[in-house]
A and B are shown apart, each in its own frame.
Chain A
Amino acid sequence: MAAAAHEIGTSSRATGEVVLEARNLRKNFGGIKAVDDVSFELRNGEILGMVGDNGAGKSTLIKIITGAYQKDSGEILLGGQPTEINSTGHARELGLETVYQSSGLVEVMDAPANLFLGREKLKEGWLGKYFGMIDKRFMRRETDNLLKTLNITVRNLAAPVQTLSGGQQQSVAVGRAAYWRGKIIILDEPANNIGVDQQRAVLELVRQIRDQHDIPFIMISHNMEHIFQVADRIIVMRNGKKVGDKRVADTSRNEVVGLITGALA
């Protein structure tokens, strides 16, 4: 059953070329197989949902891919090249942008400062070269453009982001990942802790970024509604193993829930 699903998942109907491939990943924590021989691939322009109960291994899997944990064995291929991901910083350099469910933004700083956090733009010419002066006007203009193209309305760009709603803050975080031309954007429970209307806006944003920029997403969520709203394909994790890999068009909520709980395994 799982094997069949896998074949469907990788059928030629997937949109672009393979950007990320995980082969036989394993990770043990003191005898517990947190990730047990998991393989999957991610294609350009695809939104891949990842579901599973608490402790099913999805967050460990994601942490391996974003460099927070080191795998015990297996292989990760980026754009066809075998790649060792040493740290979260390294993952970012490789074009893997992660959006966390919280603590991704510095709340007391304004949106432009957050968009360029850790990657501030220096002024052209001697001011930037000799005095290390950052180009606030440029950062502000870029932020303004980005938010406009993504239809995020922020009342006042110069205000600390803590004056924004939770949904707007999360939109800025997702927008940031898109702005930096992430090759792959990973969303960890992106619509938790925010209002229902705003959840929809954030998911809409995800779809829009995919459509505009052809960037693939991996999205972890507990919320089946969210997954079915935006994902093209769903990976189901259970007890550290991948038990399902289905195109959304070919499956149903009931089937996915069955895979999660083990009723269908």
Chain B
Amino acid sequence: MQAAIDRPDAKGKNLAAYWRQWSGDYPNFTSLATTALLLIALVIIFYLINERFLSWRNVVIILNQGAAYIILGVGMTFVITTKGIDLSIGATVALSGTVVGLILVTWKMPLVLAIPAGLAAGAACGAFNGYCVARFRVPPLIVTLGTMALFRGLSYVLLGHQILFGFPDEFLWLARGRILGIAPSVYLAFIIAIWGWYFLNYTRTGQEIIAVGGNEEAARLAGIDTNRIKFITYTIMGVLAAVGGMVWLARVNSVQAAIAYGVEFHTIALVVLGGTSLFGGRGLVMGSLMGALILAILENGLVIVGLGSFVQQVLIGLIFITVVAFRTLQFREGQVTR
């Protein structure tokens, strides 16, 4: 902000200068466009390698795999937009999933009890994170590193090494039922993505989330209750982790304390792929939606191509590192020229 130099007006300049100005003015659009291009390129590549990739059956599988990622990604987009991070979401999935599993499978109680209880567990996990981040001003990284152990530990305390399976059909319907040929969980995921997009861009709280991540001091001086915003953000993340967890449970029809281990990496990766800034203040929910689809396509496509899960892990890690490095360089360039 201290820079005294005006960004050169690009009128009458060459195309490159014009592009630079334009992409500086509309950073969101440029990020979304690059993500969309990556998505389309992947689809074309896998289709050229194997036509089966775009068969209706496979598309349904990809969407089904992507649903949980989308839901988790929306929450993580909010968190990263506030310049925070949440490493505990895998553990939150496990703990809320454990609650749901115990109620439905072990105690054979009805769904109307299990779903609110699972959501409440997720909300409690998120609220705990949010409280520690906002109230004690402990860095989010450390809070969620701690709660990653805490929530996972509690899941183990409740379940031990048991694997609960045999969920009732009406619960499994979430991932295994079909509405117009597509699983209900996919509709749910898209509804949550649209809500997330609306919430972040068109509501007061959403704008304040962006402001807190963009410049916390300015937000505070403008009268925004930054602690409240952080608390809300982590609580939403917790609830969405529980929802994503239920979709996950319904898909695999089982739960154990070790479920969703490491899912935080995939979620953060897809959010960053989608163009949300690691430096706060810029959240692209629709980018995360595409990021989730890219991830699901990679996992599915690499199997179709005949590459094992180890190669997948290496490749996804490598793609993630490359994209992050690229976006960071872009961000720094934007800072220098402004």
Q: So, do A and B actually touch in the complex, CB under 8 Å?
A: yes
Give A residues with C-beta under 8 Å from B: 88-89, 92, 98, 100, 102-109, 113, 117-120, 122, 131-134, 136, 155-156, 158-160, 162-167, 169, 193-195, 198
Total B residues in contact with A, Cβ cutoff 8 Å: 38
When C-beta atoms are compared, the residue in chain A nearest to B223 turns out to be: A118
- Taking a contact as CB atoms closer than 8 A, the residue among A92, A158, A165, A169 that contacts B5 in the complex is A165
- List of B residues within 8 angstroms of A98 by Cβ: 221
With A118-B211, A193-B1, A194-B4 given, name 17 new contacts (CB 8 A). Answer: A102-B2, A103-B217, A103-B218, A104-B218, A105-B1, A106-B218, A106-B281, A108-B215, A113-B210, A117-B224, A131-B198, A131-B203, A132-B204, A134-B207, A162-B338, A163-B7, A166-B2
- List of A residues within 8 angstroms of B223 by Cβ: 89, 92, 118-119
Give B residues with C-beta under 8 Å from A: 1-7, 9, 21, 24-27, 198, 202-205, 207-208, 210-211, 214-215, 217-219, 221-224, 277, 280-282, 334-335, 338
- B214 pairs with A198, CB closer than 8 A: no
A165–B2 Cα distance when bound, in Å, is 9
A103-B221, A104-B218, A194-B4 known; A160+B27 contact, CB < 8 A: yes
State the Cβ distance, A257 to closest chain B Cβ, in Å. 27
A92–B221 Cα distance when bound, in Å, is 9
A100–B24 Cα distance when bound, in Å, is 25
- B2 pairs with A193, CB closer than 8 A: yes
A160-B27, A163-B7, A193-B2 known; A106+B219 contact, CB < 8 A: yes
A107–B335 Cα distance when bound, in Å, is 11
- List of B residues within 8 angstroms of A122 by Cβ: 204
State the Cβ distance, B150 to closest chain A Cβ, in Å. 33
State the Cβ distance, A128 to closest chain B Cβ, in Å. 10
State the Cβ distance, A158 to closest chain B Cβ, in Å. 7
A133-B202, A158-B26 known; A165+B210 contact, CB < 8 A: no
State the Cβ distance, A226 to closest chain B Cβ, in Å. 16
A119-B223, A132-B205, A166-B1 known; A108+B26 contact, CB < 8 A: no
- List of A residues within 8 angstroms of B222 by Cβ: 117-119
- List of A residues within 8 angstroms of B210 by Cβ: 106, 108-109, 113
- List of A residues within 8 angstroms of B9 by Cβ: 155
- List of B residues within 8 angstroms of A166 by Cβ: 1-4
- A132 pairs with B203, CB closer than 8 A: yes
- A134 pairs with B3, CB closer than 8 A: no
A103-B218, A109-B214, A160-B27 known; A118+B208 contact, CB < 8 A: yes
- Taking a contact as CB atoms closer than 8 A, the residue among A113, A134, A159 that contacts B25 in the complex is A159
- Taking a contact as CB atoms closer than 8 A, the residue among A88, A109, A119, A163 that contacts B281 in the complex is A109
When C-beta atoms are compared, the residue in chain A nearest to B281 turns out to be: A108
State the Cβ distance, B188 to closest chain A Cβ, in Å. 19
| Residue from the set B1, B4, B7, B334 with the largest chain A CB neighbour count within 10 Å | B1
- List of A residues within 8 angstroms of B202 by Cβ: 133-134, 136
- A195 pairs with B4, CB closer than 8 A: yes
A106-B214, A117-B218, A118-B223 known; A163+B25 contact, CB < 8 A: yes
A103–B280 Cα distance when bound, in Å, is 15
